[in-house]
Structure 1
Amino acid sequence: MPTANCSPSSRDIVTPLHKPWLLILGLVLVALNLRPALSSMAPLLAQVSASLGLSGSTAGLLTTLPVLCLGLFAPLAPLLARRFDSERVVLGVLLVLAAGIALRSQLGVWGLFIGSLVAGGSIGIIGVLLPGIVKRDFARQAGTMTGVYTMALCLGAALAAGSSVPLSQYFDDSWRIGLAFWMVPALLAAVFWLPQTRQKHGVQRARYRVSGLFRDPLAWQVTLFMGLQSSLAYIVFGWLPSILIGRGLSAAEAGLVMSFSIIVQLPSALTVPWLATRGRDQRVPILAVMALSLAGLFGLLYAPLSGMWGWAIVLGLGQGGVFALALTLIVLRSRDAHVAANLSSMAQGVGYTIASMGPFAVGLVHDMTGGWDAVGWVFAVIGIAATAAGMGAGRTLHVQAIATKVE
């Protein structure tokens, strides 16, 4: 039976973290693999569609499905972690991620969609577990470590966006190799993560049940902010190259612009959480990075192509900061690692399900209008809603959830 309102910090047996540098290295390598399966598809989407005979709506579904799976599979993460421990789950799911990436290049359309589903679900599970690990083992450096993790995540996305087309061209225009290559870093991350399954982390394991999250308004504001800002990010991952190709760029050029914009996310992903945790609350930083994100999106959609690289910088600075802030809020709004893990599951499970509607809406508007101009309305609606949710989530409060130990 659960005990009444027992404090996890007072009842757990605290143990020192052994070789923290090895955990940091593992976190960075795992984070590098949480976006290539998503960002590698967009620059190759036209080639994949032509090769497999995909319609515009089917291609749009292909960009939406992995994001939807991020949300649908996220609730499995805390259940698996309670059964097998977070470190073992991360290791196993990394191997499943590698298998999903490989499957996308096999068995035609069925393999493409099933592999995308497996990859998206794997990323959703790992993404939920990492903020809880950061809260548990680096509680005093939560902002800095979240920035490091987010920076690695952005770097992985940028490498995949910029390299997938050149890789496919090098191997006789084989989009299959361009997509399948990204199983290699996933397997490498699994090798370096393996030692984490053999050592104790922060507190010895005890089972906890967290209640009250879904009744808490602040938890819903954090969730909506995560989901709505992610919706804009996955529109970029899924559609920005197609938008730029529609404006006159080649596939390789469009992929490089997206890759460059994601690379620019690195400094803001690292610095914005650090700066935001030193202010009275996080509302002003949220407003600033959301404004940059929307300005960059509208610039790339409507402004002359001569200023394209400048708008890519603006977009990257905004989106790197806003995503890192969304992850930081999960940690800051939680009183302990158990609540953080469950808030992470809620924010990413429900949030990514909401986020999947953004790429779908862009594809739908494009099919209805035959062009890209009208998708600016999608940007505006999502951006305003994300800013409103962020103003609530950025207040210096804690979610009113209770973690109780299960005997």
Structure 2
Amino acid sequence: MTVREESSSPAALRAVGALTCAVALIMMGVCLRLIFGSSSAVLSEIRDAYGLNGAEVALLTTGPVLCLGLFSAATPRLARRYTAPLVAAVALAMIAVGSALRILPSWPVLLGGTMLAGAGIAVGNVLGPVLVRIFFPHRIGLMTGLFTAMVCVSTGFASALTVPGATALGGSWRGALALWAVPALVAVLLLAVVTVRYLRFRRNVPEADGADAPGAVRTVLRSPVAWAVTGFMGLQSLQAYALIGWIPTIYRDRGLSAETAGAMLAIGGLLSVLTALTFPQWAARRREQRIVAVAAVALQGIGVLGVLAFGNGIGAWIANVFVGFGLGAMISLAVTMMNLRAATTAEAVSLSAMSQTVGYLLAAWGPMLMGVLHGVHGNWNLPLISLLVLLIPLLLCGVFAGGDRTVGAPSALGDGVQPGGQEA
């Protein structure tokens, strides 16, 4: 870490404007899951309109998740060449265009637009934690919490409002899907302002963010800590996508109405905001995050065990509360550790890309394996037991990644973050 790298981040924030940067990050977080929740809300209408078979429906739901893994790997090189804010703005533009294309009455265009948006989301996922580190190194816990809270809430938000939006548009589910391009456009405008101001700042302070330091990718790939963060990210994502994809179906099979089952998913997404806001701040104030990881996995374990044990009564609602808390805690802790375990901004970019590339490729198997196991045994017991078993390696990764060590420099974190992850 150089003296320039340590001191320039607060100057970057002043150059861009704290309020502008904070609102841009929040809007960016909102846009990173809207395409998932909006598509799932009208999946039956899409299937019927285009006469899709099961494989084609699965492609629409799992394809964007695969994009999250496939396109994350290219992000560090793009960020080094063009700067993180500019690449993030382009990624949000991809999400806006991909969302808007869904208004056209064509299955290939719908799928292509969804994949384009998925590629943009992949890049945005990687760069969200990096932008937090560049502009808010002294508030990593708070800003990571706000960013991931918006990511968590956006799926349920889109799921809850897409059908009413279609009704308001005279039954046009295509129009309702396309409307989700609007928040992405707002985010693009905000990030464009951030980018213009940041590039002006960079002309005066070249390489201020330290994102192009040589050797960062090699350092991250060789680090056991980085692989532990990657394992935690991947396994918690598998849990999240498996449950988000199947919880409504599980409860519909147990006799609840489609509206009630969908409401349970939306409520779980809203509740995840509470832990998504608090766990990063708890983690960032500690020298090590092992106990935070144990708490996050414990919340998830209680939730999945409750879904397994209870039917459709009050116990199911209580279990859903813990699932929401667990998912919010785990994703926010995973994103926070991408910064806390990196010694420089360059390593944070590479660690974020690696953990999300591997993590989302792993996560894409979650919904599919849940469906396969359900099909083999005809009930949801084995799929849910499998999720409980996978909590063991998830916990081990979290405990190892939560130790007071970093990828590149065991004794210091730099970039405005004090050793041990405590905020300055």
TM-score (norm 2): 0.87
After TM superposition, what 4+ stretches of structure 1 lie above 6 angstroms from structure 2?
Answer: none
1:198-223: CA deviations, max 9, x gaps?
11388634232213211111110000
Which of 186, 190, 193 aligns to 2:191? It is 193
Amino acid at match of 1:276: A
Q: What are the within-5 Å matches in structure 2 for residues 176-191 of structure 1?
A: 176-191=174-189
SS at 2:313 equivalent? helix
Shift of 1:325: 0.4
Tell me whether 57-66 or 356-365 shows the greater mean CA deviation.
57-66
Structure 1 partner of 2:375: 367
Structure 2 partner of 1:139: 137
Q: Work out the CA distance in 1 between the residues paired with 2:344 and 2:48.
A: 50
Change (3 A) 1:105 1:255: farther
Shift of 1:385: 2.1
Shift of 1:370: 4.1
Structure 1 partner of 2:231: 224
* 1:347 corresponds to 2:348: no
Structure 1 partner of 2:48: 50
Structure 2 partner of 1:337: 345
Greater relative contact order, per chain length (Cα 8 Å cut-off, separation 6+): 1
1:274-319: CA deviations, max 9, x gaps?
1123334211121121121132234235412122332221111111
Number of equivalenced pairs:
397
Amino acid at match of 1:320: G
Shift of 1:340: 0.7
Which of 260, 278, 283 aligns to 2:285? It is 278
Q: What are the within-5 Å matches in structure 2 for residues 12-31 of structure 1?
A: 14=8, 15-17=11-13, 18=15, 19-31=17-29
SS at 2:139 equivalent? helix
Which of 320, 327, 341 aligns to 1:319? It is 327
Q: Work out the CA distance in 1 between the residues paired with 2:3 and 2:70.
A: 31
Shift of 1:146: 0.6
Tell me whether 114-123 or 279-288 shows the greater mean CA deviation.
279-288
Change (3 A) 1:371 1:50: farther
Q: What are the within-5 Å matches in structure 2 for residues 84-103 of structure 1?
A: 84-103=82-101
Which of 351, 360, 385 aligns to 1:377? It is 385
Change (3 A) 1:44 1:371: farther
Amino acid at match of 1:254: A
TM-score (norm 1): 0.90
Q: Work out the CA distance in 1 between the residues paired with 2:375 and 2:48.
A: 17
Percent of residue pairs bearing the same amino acid type: 34
Tell me whether 80-89 or 54-63 shows the greater mean CA deviation.
54-63
Structure 1 partner of 2:152: 154
Structure 1, unmatched stretches of 5+, are 1-6, 403-407
Q: Is the 8 A contact 2:308 2:385 kept in 1?
A: no
Tell me whether 203-212 or 279-288 shows the greater mean CA deviation.
203-212
Structure 1 partner of 2:297: 290
Which of 303, 306, 313 aligns to 1:299? It is 306
Q: Work out the CA distance in 2 between the residues paired with 1:10 and 1:338.
A: 14
Q: Work out the CA distance in 1 between the residues paired with 2:301 and 2:42.
A: 25
Change (3 A) 1:195 1:272: same
SS at 1:270 equivalent? helix
Structure 2, unmatched stretches of 5+, are 411-424
Q: Work out the CA distance in 1 between the residues paired with 2:280 and 2:322.
A: 18
Shift of 1:185: 0.9
* 1:119 corresponds to 2:117: yes
Q: Is the 8 A contact 1:96 1:119 kept in 2?
A: yes
SS at 2:192 equivalent? helix
Q: Is the 8 A contact 2:94 2:120 kept in 1?
A: yes
Q: Is the 8 A contact 1:128 1:345 kept in 2?
A: yes
